Structure formats: structure tokens, C-alpha cells
Structure 1
Amino acid sequence: MAEQADGLMTIQDYVRWGASRFNSAGVFFGHGTDNALDEAAQLVLAALSLQPDLPASFRDCRLTSAERTLVTDLIERRVSERLPAAYLTGRAWFAGMEFDIDERVLVPRSPIAELIEAGFEPWIDAERVDRILDLCTGSGCIGIAAAVYLPHAEVDLADISQAALAVARRNVEKHQVADRVRVLESDLFNGLAEERYDVICCNPPYVPRAELDGLPPEYQREPRLALLGGEDGLTLLLRILREAGRHLTDKGILVLEAGSAAPGLEQRLPRVPWTWIEFERGGDGVLLLSRAQINQYQREFEEA
């Protein structure tokens, strides 16, 4: 396909060409971008070691011969390998922060970022959030962003995957928060003993098996362990609801992403007064419960 790029010279030329390639090839978007132009821009700028906020005036800058080859090859890999852009570039953004990403972890895309940027307010007073748990942490993006936006808080990042935790450790160092952020191997709460937190955030595996098997190839390139939530998507969600109350402080809150399993959760537990957070920038399927609410419905969680 390299010959089809003949005559292209500027950054904008390659963004346009890349978008056309993606559209004609039926590439799927959903890992940080939702359209071909943004996806192409992400790849072109990454190939040139440029940031996404590049001033528009630089879009007319010409590429060297070596840069044109680099950009072309990256765009063609996106088409032929169906790898999410973050895996090709090794970077992704979450809550306005850059994270190192590879195929050991999910590509960050949770709407929980919006909550973190607000310090979890109005759901809890940010000033009294002293301890935060990022459960099923993956790359560590949720917990590390929380540590940056709430600089007085201590944060634990927990995951069952040693491979994912290696990426999380790299991001802890990248953002220089090792003095307040611990990286812990744990199967949900099993490795956390009697630890208690003011905020527990969790984006667990919640995709039902049949749904996962039918997702576009880009999702199949992500770690299955981080996506599959059992036959109905509820396996880990229910475990978390049963156990979270023991790890929250008296005024603590649980922020739990249920995604596409949200309707099934409501159907399984119809008496629970779910609070589903509305996000200004889009996204849904994130619930919030206080420790008091979890304790009130503990028996229903146990029996579900």
C-alpha cells in the first residue's frame, strides 16, 4: 500500500490519507477515538513523536522521507493487524494524562476519568478522601490519575494479573507518585486483608461470553482476562458488591463500572436503588453506592 501514499507530503496529508484507509478497510474505533480522522491523527502524531495538542499551524509541515515511511507503515499495521492505536503507539490518554500502554492491559477509556477530575465530588468531600483503591487496576490509570488529582491521598492499585501490574508499576514511576501509590497483587479483595478505603474505584471484567466472542477484532486483541465477566457478565460484579462493604470506611463510596452488564445487574437485583452516574462527556454504566447502602442490601448481594 505504500505506493498509494505517493504525493503525500504534510502531516495533514497523512491524516487525511490514513482516515480514508481506515474507512475503506472498515476499521473499528472505540479505544480512545470514535472516528477515522481522530484515529489517523493519533497515529500520525505518535509516529512523529508529537503531542495531540500540536498547534494547527504545524499541520502543513512536510515530512522527511524516513518519516513518511514510518507513518505509512504504522497506518498499514492498523489496517492489517487490527491492533488498537494505543498498542501501536505505546501510549494512551486518561484524565488528561499520558500512560504507557501495551497488550498486557486494556486501553484506558473509562468515563470514571470525569469523576476523578472532579475529585469524586459531589459524591464525597474531596478533602476527606485519604485512601483510594483502584481494583482491577490494569495499567493503573484510574488510581494514578486519582493520586495526581487528589495529591493528599494514598492509593492502592490491585490486580490479579502480574503482567498488568508490571505496566502499572511503569506508570507509577512515569508520573512520579511512588511515594503515595502501592501496587498490589490481589484477586479482587482477597489480598487486601483488613484494608479500608474512602473510595473504591473498579472497572472489572463485565462482558458476557457471547458478547465478547462477537466483538470486533480490535477488542479481541485486548487481554481476555480483563474483559470476560463470565457467562452473563455479572460474576465479578456480584463478588465485588458482596465484599466491598468490608473494605470501605463509614462514609466511603464504591464506584463500579458495570458497562453492558448494567441491565442484567438491575434485573438480578431489582430492589436495590441503583445510582447510575451521568457524565457530561458521555459514557454510562457506572454505578455508585455508599457503604451504608451496601450494608443495607448485603443479604440480597449474598443471595444473588
Structure 2
Amino acid sequence: MKWFYNVRKRRRIIGLFLFSLFVVIILVFANFSSKNKKTETSTDASIIEATPTKIIVTTKEPEVTPTQLQTPTPTVVPTLTPEPTPTETATPTLTPIPTPTSIPTTISPTATPKPSPTKQNPTPTPKKTVQVKTAEPVKPSPKPVVEPPKAETKIELKYKNGRTNVNTDTIYPMFTIVNKGNQKVKLSNIKIRYYYTKEGNASETFWCDYFTKGSSNVIGSFAKLNNDKNNANSYLEISFSDAAGEIGAGESVELSVGFAKNDWSQYNQKNDYSYSSSTTYFSWNKVTLYVSGKLVFGKEP
């Protein structure tokens, strides 16, 4: 039905329909007239050939026949005429339909009001550009400069007992030296002291059974405290030669030593300050460690 909304097509179709209807009516009328002529000629022939008695009958019959022929033909005509009538009635209904085409004109104002909400008066956008960011670069560069001076020497000493007998002729302390600082430390600057109580006056001998950097680089010496302490009147001091090298940050070295009296007399380890019966390494603060003469681990008696 799109043609119905097109005025030109609609006019052409209605025109063709009316023209065809007109042609049909003419053809029907011509057919009807030709039939009447045929009937008249037939009646004339019948009058000539027939007897006078039949002429009276025939003259009456053609009068009946045209009426019968006329009656069916008009019945056909009304059947054709109602078809165009709905189309003609439809035309007025179509005319108001184009009028709604004017309705889109009312839509046009929708475009103009939209710019109005673009009240980009929020000029605070430049406020965002207020370079507060300049406050952020508060030159944190000096902070990393402070880090290098934090070079610290942090040495931990772990201890276990190689011979836990209370009464023994030989004492076997074993150590692990751990560098927990952030710089290397020369082993020749490190000294370890093991405190004990010496019974008798016999001289003593020291030896090293094992050292990570070489047992020949370990030195042991004995000293007597100026004043006797609780569970201690002497100590063994362990040091290292320059050949032992350094202990790096995060590194550790192991050390196993022993000492005894030259007469092999007994020690009572129970009254030794640095004694412990532990056979596994642990952080034991009753042995002390010094770096360049400064106490950095343990507690003296």
C-alpha cells in the first residue's frame, strides 16, 4: 500500500481504474446494443419466412427477450461500480495522512536546546590546572642520599658445645659468625671471647679443628680476668690473621676449636660462664664478639 501515500501513483492508478471502468461500460453497452440488433434482424427474418400466424407470436417474443436481456446486463454493471466507490471513499481518508508529515517540523526545536546545557561555565577546569602538582616534587632526592651513610656493622655469633660433659679434660666450643650488616668486615678485626673458670695453675694449649677460611688462620690466646667474676676467672680469646680475608654482607663462617690443660686435668664446665649444653647452634649472648675493639655482640660477665 505504499502507492496509496504517493499522490502521483494514486492519481494514476485511480485514473487507470476509472478509464478501464469506462471502457468496460462502453463494451457492455456495445455488446448489449449488438444483441438488440441481432434480435431485431432475427425477428425481421422470422417475419418474412414465417406464416402470418407465427408473426404475431414472434413479435411478442422479441418484446420479451429484450427485456430479459436488459435485466441481466444491469446486474453486471452494479457489481463493477461498487469496486471504485471504496477507492473514492478511501481518497478522503488518505488526504489527512500526509498532514502528519508536518509533525516532524515540531521535532526541529529539539536540536537548539541541547547547546544550552553546555554551560561549560565550570571554568573550575583551569582550577584543576592549578599546578598543585608542583608541591609533589618536594625533592625527595636527599632521602636516598641518606641511605649510604647507614652502613652498619652487625655481626651475630651463634654457639654450640662440642663436648657437653660437665667434667671434661677438653673444652670444645663451636661457633658460626654471621655478617648481618651491609658491608664487608675484615676477619682480622674480629675477636671472640669464651669465659670459663680455670681450676689449678697448669698452663693450657689451644688448637683449631676447622675454620671456613682455613684453620691455620685462627689464633687462640688465654687471659686471666683482673677480678674474678661469677663463674669466670679466665677467658679464651680467638682472633684471625690477615690471610683469613673478609666476611661479606650476608655471609657466614664456621669455626670449631678446642683447648685443654697441659696436664690434662679436669674442667668443671658447670661453673663456666659461657658454657651451654646445647648441641645445636643458637644465638648465645654469654660469648662476646668485638670488631676493632668494640663490643658488638654478647654480654660480658
Task: Bin the TM-score by the shorter chain.
Answer: under 0.3
Greater strand share, 1 or 2? 2
The higher relative CO (CA closer than 8 Å, separation ≥ 6) is in 2
TM-score by length of 1: 0.21
TM-score by length of 2: 0.21
